[in-house]
Amino acid sequence: MEKIESSKKVVGAGFERVLWTSRWSVMFAVVCSILASLVMFYISAVDTIYAVKHLANYYTFDSAMARGVLRADAVSMVVKVIDIFLLAIVLMIFGLGIYELYISKIDHAYQEHDSSAEHMLSVNNLDDLKTRLGKVIIMVLIVKFFEMAIGMEIDGIKDLMTFAGGTLLIGMTLFMTEKVSRKTGQWKTRATDRA
């Protein structure tokens, strides 16, 4: 009987070891997320260079109408670049957060008591990670709304009320997320708050 109990313990311990070691499979998500983030940063950088080249001759336009068209194109390009940068940040936060949550704290980030690491990387549970990701995703959606609003043609009161309602909802969302962040002390946004 003791022999059976002993073999059960050995099998159980071995199975638990395998289960615990399987957490390293998260590294696929971490590496892919960081690589995708770097790709998004690269795309945004290239788009920024093209936007600057596109606007190099802005001062040569005499017509206010031509400058207005170019300005609208420029704003649209810049908003798209911001959108891609924010997506890159989401992927970076996800990759680093998953690593800290399932594998280990990133010791190098905390060695010099960097305040950036303390407020950005400190992930204690999935709720922390969701909160950080959620805030950046909200910013992505706001930028998307802004991008759509630039091209929106307001033909009547219904369009104007729709635009105003969207703007009001965005303002309320930002207010609520900031209020919750300050209440819980998470991910402080201002340098003076982090001091």
According to the model, what pLDDT value does residue 194 have?
45
CA 86, 92, 95, 101 torsion: positive or negative?
negative
- The Cα 131–Cα 187 span in angstroms is 9
pTM of the entire predicted model: 0.67
Q: Hey, what are 161's tokens? A: 């009320």
Mean pLDDT on 58-75: 77
Question: Which ranges constitute the DSSP H helices of 103-125?
Answer: 107-110, 115-120
In this predicted structure, the answer to whether residue 82 has a pLDDT above a threshold of 80 is: yes
The string of pLDDT tens digits covering residues 97-136 is: 888 887 877 766 667 666 666 656 666 677 777 777 777 7
The DSSP secondary structure of 30-46, one letter per residue, reads HHHHHHHHHHHHHHHHH
For residue 195, what pLDDT is reported? 44
Determine the distance from the C-alpha atom of residue 24 to the mean position of all C-alpha atoms in its chain, rounded to a whole number: 24
Query: Does residue 15 carry a pLDDT above 50?
Result: yes
Kindly tell me the burial class for residue 94, based on how many C-beta atoms sit within 10 Å of its own C-beta (0-12, 13-18, 19 or more): buried
Closest CA to 138 of 127, 130, 128: 130
pLDDT of residue 37: 93
Give the pLDDT band of residue 41 (cuts 50, 70, 90): very high
DSSP state of 124: -
**pLDDT at 35 > cutoff 90:** yes
Q: Which of 52, 41, 48 is nearest to 86 (CA)?
A: 41
What is the Cα 169 distance to its own chain's centre? 20
Q: How far apart are CA 129 and CA 94, in angstroms?
A: 7
